[in-house]
Structure 1
Amino acid sequence: MENKDKATTGLQVAVTILGKWGASSEQGVAILRVSPETYARARRRDPEWKVNLDEDQLTRISYILNIHAALRVILDNPKNVYGFMSMINHNEYFNGRSPLQIISQGNLYSLRETWLRVTWSAL
């Protein structure tokens, strides 16, 4: 039961962060690799609802939480912490796209690379 609670809480927090980053439901579903129904229930934060997640989904949640943590370290203004992911970025990896556009492709590699780029900025 404890793992389900942690997975559910992690998913709910990741969905909240994605919403603050300006992600649409479709983008969130692709980023976290969950069904639209699971995404919607996580957003509603139904206290009776619990979810089972696989390792890939838990890894995706971890990347979202770690990107958010790195942004909080490098940026003071909450508008920038939450706005960074939807801003056009001219770093060679992002190449004029926003980090949110990159991670919305839904592949784990893009999520990992975005996390690395943000983390390197925090060092």
Structure 2
Amino acid sequence: MGISGLKAAFNILEKWGCNADQMQAILRLPKATFYKYRNDPDSARLDRDQLTRISYLLNMHQALRIVFENPDNVYGFMRKRNHNPYFHGRAPLEVIESGDFAALYETFRRIDSLRGGLW
């Protein structure tokens, strides 16, 4: 999943409207490494934490694709304010852009639960 997952994660984050700083924080990549991997993803050497972050991003995207048919919702959901517990009026992207692993995990759990068993 490493390199192909990283490429997919970059694509998803871009479609979610993330800027470079947000992507770096979410993926836990230092600035120079981020730009190196963006320009040459095949050179990526990812650690377990980064691979897990990528996995959560890919699974969030998959869950959103299952729940929503409209691409505007699939890609726009992460920027929409959410007033459910945990988000407290923040957009999911605002929560995960902190780069905090627990925030990424908790956001993944809540988005994944939207599927409600839908496959």
On whether the aligned pair clears a TM of 0.5, the verdict is yes
Q: Find the counterpart in structure 2 of residue 77 from structure 1.
A: 70
Residue deviations 1:10-34 (CA, integer Å, cap 9, x gap): 1111011001001111011000001
Does the 8 Å CA contact 1:12/1:42 hold for their aligned counterparts?
no
Aligned to 1:100: 93
SS for the counterpart of 2:86 is: coil
TM-score, structure 2 as length reference: 0.90
Once the two structures are superposed, the pairs formed by residues 1-123 of structure 1 within 5 Å of their partners are 6-44=1-39, 46=40, 49-123=42-116
> What is aligned with 1:3?
none
Show structure 2 runs of 5+ residues with no match. Answer: none
**Residue 41 (structure 1) shift:** 3.7
Stretches of structure 1 lacking an aligned partner (at least 5 in a row): 1-5
Residues 37, 43 of structure 2: 8 Å contact kept: no
Q: Is the 8 A contact 1:66 1:115 kept in 2?
A: yes
Structure-1-length-normalised TM-score: 0.88
Q: 4+ runs of 1 displaced by more than 3 Å?
A: 41-44
